[in-house]
Structure 1
Amino acid sequence: MVNPDSSALNLSRAIHIKQVSCQEVMQSTLERIARLNPQSNAIVSLQEPELLMAQARERDAQLARGESMGWMHGMPQAIKDLANAQGLRTTLGSPLMKDFVASEDGLMVQRIKAAGAIVIGKTNTPEFGLGSHTFNEVFGPTRNAWDPSKTAGGSSGGAAVALAQRLLPVADGSDFMGSLRNPAGWNHVFGLRPSQGRVPMSPAQDVFIAQLATEGPMARHVADLALLLSTQAGAHPSSPLSLTGDPAVFAGSLDSDPKGQRIGWLGNLQGYLPMEDGILEVCQSALKSFSGMGCAVDEARLGMPPEQIWQAWLVWRQALVGPRIAPFLINPANRTHIKAEALWEHDQSLGLTGSQLMAASASRTRFYLSMLALFEKFDVLAIPVAQVWPFDASLRWPRSIAGHPMDTYHRWMEVVIYATFAGLPSISVPAGFGANGLPMGLALIGKPQGDMDLLKLAHAYEMANLEMINQRPPGV
């Protein structure tokens, strides 16, 4: 009997001691997808059941011969629809890509398959991965696991909902502007944005400048998150800025004593970031748990005006996102098939100059140095993972927050940029639920390359809050 609440680690153990077969796991997964996915639309491009069951039988045959491919042996896995998986469509959520079938696996998918996972399909994402609201004209919207009338977040929205609904044991995602953290917070799971360079992306058009986006893990439990990171991470020759540390460390023990850890609470940056009612209170309630574990929680202040950070961020984002859209506009007729937000990113990028990018890079450098100064006072920084609660799925994006108008389609996500812009690891942990019954996440930001320390602190938090963290969405 397959327990859908089982951690990925426990599922791996059960498979390897033959307590459950890979075929039983696959059959159970497909049955859950058939029951729950029609409403949530988390998993797309699902492969034929006969093909998947045949792969599961082969995994069982390998175990019968005493052969194991790795800790993910026989585990169903769906890949975010921005990454290539051989033989599956990579649509990017764009009607212009709806028929593109990948001829080879991306590096991250290669590593997941090498660990024994069976790729069953894809997880849904916004068009080109832009915006923290998973909807597109190819597959439609992905709906929040806790309230199907609300957004799942994004761009790893399909992955987060698939986890919350127990359709997958772990999930991969990617993060440019909070895309691993925001949907995790809105679906009551864990999402880790690794340190810059921890998880190399290959193939990639540019491997030197485009370092703001990264792939990473999502999971219902921190130990599972760390295990998937150990599979995804590791230097690769095609990615010259990738970190060279041994990724096997993330498969080790996460046990630690958090007593004495210094946590700096950034909150709403002294009123700079507008936030909907109840978000700060839920996150501060989570911080009380850290205090109860012996951590010292104190107010922290950014060492640089946040508006300067935002303006530098805009330049960097447009410089990196605009060229991603440009190839689709070689044919001008394609403009009618590209969402307005992507066109805005492209059109804004056309006026950028090299001197503007260098000036923004200098601002980014000052910001990074100011973060280093903060880490002389604190071991970890904490901030809400979102400025709004999950909003109506029919909206494209929030036009205002608490009466404050948003001047771009992503200004409402400003809270997530600080870890990204400094290249720091950040994990979204479930903070609890608002009066509206919707989940919210708390983002913990670690020191440079401090992924393991961050995972240990999040694991201690999980162990202290198991009853809250193990809550299941309605009907799951």
Structure 2
Amino acid sequence: MPVDEQLCAWPAQRMAQAVRRREVSAVELVSAHLDRIEQVNPAVNAVVSLVPEQALAQAREADARAARGDALGPLHGLPVAIKDLMDTAGIRTTYGSPIYADHVPRHDALIVQRMREAGAIVVGKTNTPEFGAGSHTFNPVFGPTRNPYALDRSAGGSSGGAAAALAARLLPLADGSDLGGSIRNPASFCNVVGLRPSAGRVGSTRPGDAWDPASVLGPMARSCADVALLLSVIAGPDDRAPLSLPEDGAALAVIAPYSFRGARVALSRTVDGLPFEPAVARVMDQVATRLAGLGAEVVEVEPDLSGADEAFQTLRSLEFVASYATEVRAHPALVKQSVRDDVAWGMALTAEQIARAQALRAEVFRRTQALVARFDLLIAPTSQLPPFPVEWEYPRRIAGVPMDRYYTWQRSCTRLTTTCLPVLALPAGFTDEGLPVGVQFVGRHRGEQRLLAQGAAWEEAVSDIMARQPNVVPA
């Protein structure tokens, strides 16, 4: 049967249902997305290391399984591209580094394995900064990813390729990773949805400190329902991941109805005193108005996040030592300065500084969890400024305030990382120049399912915002 020309704009759940019912074949679905990638990706540079022949062969196998009546996974036939920090067997994985420009792993990362087992078809990778460092996607291997809403602007990072691919309708679902905002910031910049789950919700066997709750893997999509679909596949325990939670992820696919009528919502405008550009502040005014219109009691509150900056800065540098000190020592000329700086900062840490940072993180978690428990939800702006020029390495000033490190401008995200609570990034509005601005919904400890229900209710209130497609992408 003829494929709807708008197929690539369908929700992922609708795509999966159509393939299961054999209304659309996996070959048709994958081919449609490959055609769109060919048409649009040269402008945005979101998908890299494309493997079209491999993907089409797997799509034909998927259709054969459907024809035989085999059991089909929840992502059966859906095309995906994997963030280029995650190993993919037989597909080049560079980590955005020239050191690994020709690296082809022999094994899939756990998250990739789970997506494949659920029936997803990998068509390539999504672009990322070098070693995922910084919330702006560019690297010496593939160059910068551009924002589909404005090609002269950043798509954010480090999951910038994933967010741009979703916004441009190149993919229906994408995986991301988040340490200091790497899912949330690109979701804000590209008008899509991303979930930073609780530590251990998505089991990971990545190298580094397996006991650190700061760096997590999570789902991205164009709606909360599709985020829940991908979360249900990638969530779950693994014996090699000591923080992994024991719950099976399948139940997370269901989002219960939620109403903001009568809900008490804590609204933070500055994430405990940070500078924000006026364009973001104006969108937050609109957020407060919309929440009140939904029947919520909006209480303006600034959470006490004292100690969060010190804790994040210290523990981030410690993680960079664990993850990238070997590359810095062996190939200093091939590693960008920001990564070298983070490793150097980590190497200079004392045991007392590390112990203090861990204690501060525990205090921030307890204070913020207690605050969220008094309300139904905590809401805050995602990024401190709209998408910035793609030529910048990072913003040097926000509202006139200088940024002392390459990630300081992300503190609206990094402070919430330190709370160790789940955070859902959602579209909120646009600037007068047509640039996306997002909000963060902060949930209760391990409360992803309720958080997604709240996000789905918000989506209904901002359906006009979420339906606004990039001008650069043909409708």
TM-score above 0.5: yes
- Choose which of 430, 433, 446 in structure 1 pairs with 2:430: 433
Please state if 1:235 is matched with 2:251: no
- Residue 111 of structure 1 corresponds to which residue in structure 2? 114
- Residue 153 of structure 1 corresponds to which residue in structure 2? 156
Amino acid at match of 2:209: D
After the TM superposition, which of the residue ranges 252-261 and 320-329 deviates more from structure 2? 252-261
Distance 1:38 1:68, change over 3 A: farther
Matches for 1:69-88 after TM superposition, within 5 Å: 69-88=72-91
Amino acid at match of 1:292: G
Q: Distance in 2 between matches of 1:329 and 1:376?
A: 43
Matches for 1:207-222 after TM superposition, within 5 Å: 207-208=210-211, 210-222=212-224
Deviation string 1:270-296 (CA, Å, 9 cap, x unpaired) is 6x2111121021123123222222222
8 Å CA contact 1:223–1:254 kept in 2: the answer is no
Q: Distance in 2 between matches of 1:439 and 1:22?
A: 32
- Residue 164 of structure 1 corresponds to which residue in structure 2? 167
Please state if 1:122 is matched with 2:125: yes
Deviation string 1:61-114 (CA, Å, 9 cap, x unpaired) is 111111243121111110000001111122110001111111101111010000
Q: Distance in 2 between matches of 1:391 and 1:304?
A: 26
Identical residues among aligned pairs (%) = 41
Cα distance, 1:304 vs structure 2: 4.5
8 Å CA contact 1:229–1:247 kept in 2: the answer is yes
Deviation string 1:229-285 (CA, Å, 9 cap, x unpaired) is 011101111112111123122112332223222211111146x21111210211231
Cα distance, 1:363 vs structure 2: 1.3
Deviation string 1:171-201 (CA, Å, 9 cap, x unpaired) is 1100000000000011000011001111111
Secondary structure at the counterpart of residue 427 of structure 1: strand
How well do the aligned residues superpose, as a CA RMSD in angstroms?
A: 1.3
Distance 1:386 1:253, change over 3 A: closer
- Choose which of 49, 66, 70 in structure 1 pairs with 2:69: 66
8 Å CA contact 2:162–2:174 kept in 1: the answer is yes
Q: Distance in 2 between matches of 1:373 and 1:118?
A: 42
8 Å CA contact 1:446–1:454 kept in 2: the answer is yes
Gaps of at least 5 residues in structure 1 are none
Q: Distance in 2 between matches of 1:348 and 1:50?
A: 44
Deviation string 1:392-438 (CA, Å, 9 cap, x unpaired) is 11110111111111111111111102331121110111001001110
8 Å CA contact 2:228–2:255 kept in 1: the answer is no
- Residue 326 of structure 1 corresponds to which residue in structure 2? 325
Please state if 1:365 is matched with 2:368: no
Deviation string 1:179-230 (CA, Å, 9 cap, x unpaired) is 000000110000110011111111433322x221111000001100001001
- Residue 176 of structure 2 corresponds to which residue in structure 1? 173
Secondary structure at the counterpart of residue 278 of structure 2: coil
Cα distance, 1:138 vs structure 2: 0.3
Secondary structure at the counterpart of residue 378 of structure 2: strand
- Choose which of 49, 54, 64 in structure 2 pairs with 1:51: 54
- Residue 343 of structure 1 corresponds to which residue in structure 2? 340
- Residue 187 of structure 1 corresponds to which residue in structure 2? 190
Amino acid at match of 2:304: G
Secondary structure at the counterpart of residue 46 of structure 1: coil
Cα distance, 1:303 vs structure 2: 2.7
Q: Distance in 1 between matches of 2:13 and 2:256?
A: 13
Q: Distance in 1 between matches of 2:50 and 2:372?
A: 44
Secondary structure at the counterpart of residue 54 of structure 1: helix
Q: Distance in 2 between matches of 1:383 and 1:159?
A: 23
Q: Distance in 2 between matches of 1:86 and 1:408?
A: 35
Secondary structure at the counterpart of residue 119 of structure 1: strand
Please state if 1:290 is matched with 2:291: yes
Amino acid at match of 2:275: P
8 Å CA contact 1:69–1:114 kept in 2: the answer is no
Q: Which runs of 4+ in 1 moved over 4 A?
A: none
Amino acid at match of 2:365: Y
Q: Distance in 1 between matches of 2:262 and 2:420?
A: 25
Q: Distance in 1 between matches of 2:279 and 2:329?
A: 46
Please state if 1:200 is matched with 2:203: yes
Q: Distance in 2 between matches of 1:389 and 1:366?
A: 31
Please state if 1:135 is matched with 2:155: no
Cα distance, 1:56 vs structure 2: 1.0
Please state if 1:38 is matched with 2:35: no
Amino acid at match of 1:228: L
Q: Distance in 1 between matches of 2:256 and 2:222?
A: 15
For normalisation by structure 1, the TM-score amounts to 0.96
- Residue 454 of structure 2 corresponds to which residue in structure 1? 457
Q: Distance in 2 between matches of 1:269 and 1:195?
A: 20
8 Å CA contact 1:303–1:374 kept in 2: the answer is no
Amino acid at match of 1:160: A
8 Å CA contact 1:254–1:459 kept in 2: the answer is no
8 Å CA contact 1:267–1:384 kept in 2: the answer is yes
- Residue 31 of structure 2 corresponds to which residue in structure 1? 27
After the TM superposition, which of the residue ranges 438-447 and 350-359 deviates more from structure 2? 350-359
Amino acid at match of 2:346: S
8 Å CA contact 1:93–1:126 kept in 2: the answer is yes
Q: Distance in 2 between matches of 1:304 and 1:429?
A: 22
Cα distance, 1:365 vs structure 2: 1.5
- Choose which of 7, 12, 16 in structure 2 pairs with 1:8: 12
Q: Distance in 1 between matches of 2:431 and 2:198?
A: 30
Deviation string 1:437-467 (CA, Å, 9 cap, x unpaired) is 1001001100101111110000011123222
Number of equivalences: 469
Matches for 1:307-326 after TM superposition, within 5 Å: 308-326=307-325
Secondary structure at the counterpart of residue 249 of structure 1: helix
Q: Distance in 1 between matches of 2:83 and 2:305?
A: 35
Q: Distance in 2 between matches of 1:113 and 1:366?
A: 39
Please state if 1:91 is matched with 2:88: no
8 Å CA contact 2:155–2:190 kept in 1: the answer is yes
8 Å CA contact 2:178–2:217 kept in 1: the answer is yes
For normalisation by structure 2, the TM-score amounts to 0.96
Q: Distance in 2 between matches of 1:427 and 1:157?
A: 16
Secondary structure at the counterpart of residue 149 of structure 1: strand
Secondary structure at the counterpart of residue 80 of structure 2: strand
